[in-house]
Every structure is written in C-alpha cells, then in structure tokens.
C-alpha cells in the first residue's frame, strides 16, 4: 500500500490523438505543419463532418464561425497594440501659438530664433505682438457674440413689458364725452384686468432688473478695455457707440412712457425694435474696430516690450469678467426654463384631476 503522505510522481502524459484523426501524425504546437499535413487534416475533418446530421452540422458551423471571428479579432488587437501610438490623443494637448500663454510663447519664439540663428529681436517682437493681438481678438469676438445674444434677451423682455404697458394704457382711455361717473364705472369694470396686466409687467421687470445688473458689469468691463486701447479716432467712436446702445436706462424709458401725456408706448416700442435690428451690424463693426485699435496699441505703437504684457493681461482679465457674467446669465436662463417646466407640469396634473 502506498503511503498517502508520500509525494505523488507526476509524469507528462502523451497527447491523445483526436478520434477520427488516427492516420495523421501528431503535430505539436511548436512545429509548423506542411501542406500535405494540412490536406490530411482537411480531409479528415470533412469525413467527420459528413457523419453528422444536418442539425449537428449547422450547430458546428455556428460554433466554428464564432471561433473564427474571435480569433481574427484577437489577432487584429495584437497587431494594433504592436503599433506605436501617440502619447496624447486629446486635442487639448495640441495648442496653436494663439492659444499658448504669453510667457510660454516668448520662450518658444526665443528657441526658434536660437535654433535658426535669427538675431533680429525686432522681428521676433513683431511676430510676438501679432500672435498675441490675434489671440486676444479671437477671445474678445466670442465674448461679443455672447453679449449680443444676452442683449437680445433684454430687448425681448422690454418688448414684452411694452406690450403689457400698452394694454394697460388702452384700458385707461376714456371717451371724450365721459363724465366723472362714467370714468369711475370704466375704472371699476377694468380694474381686475389692469391689475393682472400690472402683475405680469412687474414679473417681467423683476427679470429685467437682474439682467440689467449683469449688463452694468459688462458695460463697465467694455469701458475699461476701451480706456486701454482708445485712440481717439473713428474706431474708438464705433466702440463707444456700442457701449452707449447697450447702456440704455430702460426702466427710466418705461417710466417716461407711462407718464407720457398721450398715454402711448408706440415711440418706445419703435425705439426697441429699431435697436434690435441694428445691433448685430454694430457688433460686427466693433470686431473690426477692436482689432485695429489693439494692433495700433501693440504693434504700431513705440511702447516698450514691457508694456505689452500688462495690456494683454488687462484685456484678458476684463474679458474673463465678462464671460463670468455671461455664465451667470446662462444659469438665469436655465432657472427660468426649469420654473416654466414646473408650472406647466403643475397645470397638467391639476387638469387631470
């Protein structure tokens, strides 16, 4: 009897030949089969296939097809992994010169000058200023596009409030022949309607006031940028014209319109509509004027190189502040949209009851 505590001796078993392939010499995984051996395998495979029923053959074909697909995929993956791929796949790692921060851009241009032995510092500084000017213009123009959309929302609320005020005024008009009793009767009859309109107008004004606070910060930053690049010429005038059109005191305009002797909002409504149509054109002109003013300040002026960085940095800071305000505006729109959705769902549930 063998002792159970004795170590077992493991021997390497000889590989068994598959049933039906007894005539084929056993092929190890380390040797490459010849054409004749491949033919023998194929013939033996076909003989065994013919012994199977049609259902078994169909199942086998499905299994083999699946095996082939898996094998090809693994082979393809192996080939792909063997190829050298770039370390960075995201576009955020690939920056143009306009997207590179100013200090790093200066180092890059210095390295280029050293490599190609370019000793013309004036040309390098000119290239530096041109790239920075282009970069600042691109960022500023994107902010201008967003400011335009922001101002369209302000004008939309103004148009809405103008309509409510016009309706209120229409209910406050009396026939020329009306005496005190008739006026009192008309006021009493339309008081609920007028109050409802005033509530709606007050709601619009609450939203408008929030937007005007944001507008004030945007105008303040635009004024600050103009102060940096102002050249006292036509381009500065075009820039100033934009600020003036953005900085209209709409609440004061509504107050004047409500106290107007004839009791009409036609002039205010016309003014808002005219401004809404001409603003896109003004914004496009400002993009061109801003580029000219900035290049004049950076490229064509005789300022020392040390003043270039503060100018670019100050404009970028002001633009960042504008973009932050516009981000607050986006949040305002989302809150307004969610509030409308809640009201509509609440009305829907009430109607189902």
Lowest-confidence pick of 127-136, 155-164, 177-186, 204-213: 177-186
Tell me the torsion sign for CA atoms 36, 37, 39, 40: positive
- Structural domain boundaries, residue 259: 102-170+207-339
Q: Which DSSP string do the residues of 122-182 spell out, in sequence order?
A: HHHHHHHHHHHHHHHHHHHHHHHHHHHHHHHHHHHHHHHHHHHHHHHHHHT---TT--HHH
Residue 29 belongs to a domain: no
Maximum Cα interatomic distance, the chain, rounded to a whole number of Å: 134
Residue whose structure tokens are 């092929």: 27
- 344 lies in some domain: no
Q: Range with the lowest mean pLDDT among 18-32, 49-63, 127-141, 162-176?
A: 18-32
The residue behind tokens 């064509």 is 300
Q: How many structural domains comprise the chain?
A: 1
Q: Is residue 72 one of the residues assigned to a domain? A: no
Per the prediction, the chain carries an average pLDDT of: 79
Could you tell me if residue 190 is inside a domain? Answer: no
Lowest mean pLDDT among 2-11, 90-99, 140-149: 2-11
Is 38 part of a structural domain of the chain?
no
In-domain check, residue 136? yes
Asked if residue 129 is part of any domain, the answer here is: yes
Give a yes or no: residue 17 inside a domain.
no
Tens digit of each residue's pLDDT (9 = 90 or more) over 76-88: 777 666 555 555 5
Question: Per residue in 278-292, pLDDT tens?
Answer: 999 999 999 999 999
């Amino acid at each position: 009897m063998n002792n159970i505590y004795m170590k077992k001796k493991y021997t390497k078993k000889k590989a068994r030949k598959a049933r039906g392939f007894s005539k084929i010499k056993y092929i190890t995984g380390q040797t490459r089969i010849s054409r004749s051996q491949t033919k023998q395998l194929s013939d033996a495979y076909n003989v065994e296939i013919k012994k199977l029923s049609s259902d078994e053959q169909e199942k086998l074909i499905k299994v083999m097809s699946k095996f082939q697909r898996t094998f090809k995929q693994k082979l393809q993956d192996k080939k792909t992994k063997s190829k050298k791929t770039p370390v960075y796949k995201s576009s955020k790692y690939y920056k143009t010169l306009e997207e590179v921060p100013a200090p790093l851009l200066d180092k890059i241009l210095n390295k280029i000058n050293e490599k190609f032995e370019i000793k013309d510092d004036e040309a390098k500084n000119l290239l530096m200023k041109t790239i920075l000017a282009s970069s600042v213009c691109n960022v500023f123009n994107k902010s201008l596009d967003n400011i335009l959309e922001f101002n369209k929302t302000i004008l939309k609320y103004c148009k809405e409030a103008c309509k409510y005020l016009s309706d209120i005024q229409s209910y406050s008009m009396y026939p020329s022949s009306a005496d005190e009793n008739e006026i009192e009767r008309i006021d009493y009859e339309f008081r609920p309607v007028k109050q409802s309109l005033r509530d709606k107008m007050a709601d619009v004004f609450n939203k408008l006031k929030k937007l005007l606070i944001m507008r004030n910060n945007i105008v303040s930053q635009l004024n600050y940028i103009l102060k940096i690049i102002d050249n006292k010429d036509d381009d500065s005038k075009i820039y100033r014209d934009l600020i003036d059109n953005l900085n209209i005191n709409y609440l004061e305009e509504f107050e004047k319109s409500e106290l107007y002797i004839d009791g009409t909002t036609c002039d205010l409504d016309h003014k808002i509509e005219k401004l809404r149509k001409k603003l896109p054109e003004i914004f496009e002109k400002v993009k061109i004027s801003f580029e000219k003013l900035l290049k004049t300040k950076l490229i064509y002026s005789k300022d020392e190189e040390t003043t270039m960085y503060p100018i670019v940095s100050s404009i970028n800071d002001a633009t960042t502040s504008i973009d932050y305000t516009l981000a607050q505006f986006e949040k305002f729109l989302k809150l307004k949209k969610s509030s409308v959705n809640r009201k509509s769902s609440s009305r829907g549930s009430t109607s189902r009851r």
